[in-house]
Amino acid sequence: MDNLGESFTTRLLRLIDERGLKDSTVYKQSNISRQHFSKIQCNRDYTPKKKTVLAFAVGAASVGG
């Protein structure tokens, strides 16, 4: 609950790091292009579409499973 103010980008990157995953593994499993992932990484104020959030949720579940 302490992280409610985190942006999508900050939370995503933090969760990837906390779980010891590689960025490339997560975006590939999520079916997100490298270019789109780079856009997310570079823009801390990025607001994803629902489709993107769901893709990361499914992809992360299959990697960290």
pLDDT digits (tens, 9 = 90+) for 7-36: 889 999 999 999 999 999 999 999 999 999
Q: What is the pTM of this model?
A: 0.81
In the predicted model, what is the mean pLDDT of residues 25-53? 93
Helices 8-18/34-42 angle, 10° precision = 110
Residue 65, pLDDT > 90, answer no
For the stretch 7-35, what's the b/e string if a residue is b when 16 or more beta carbons lie within 10 angstroms of its beta carbon?
Answer: ebbeebbeebeeeeeebeebbebbebeee
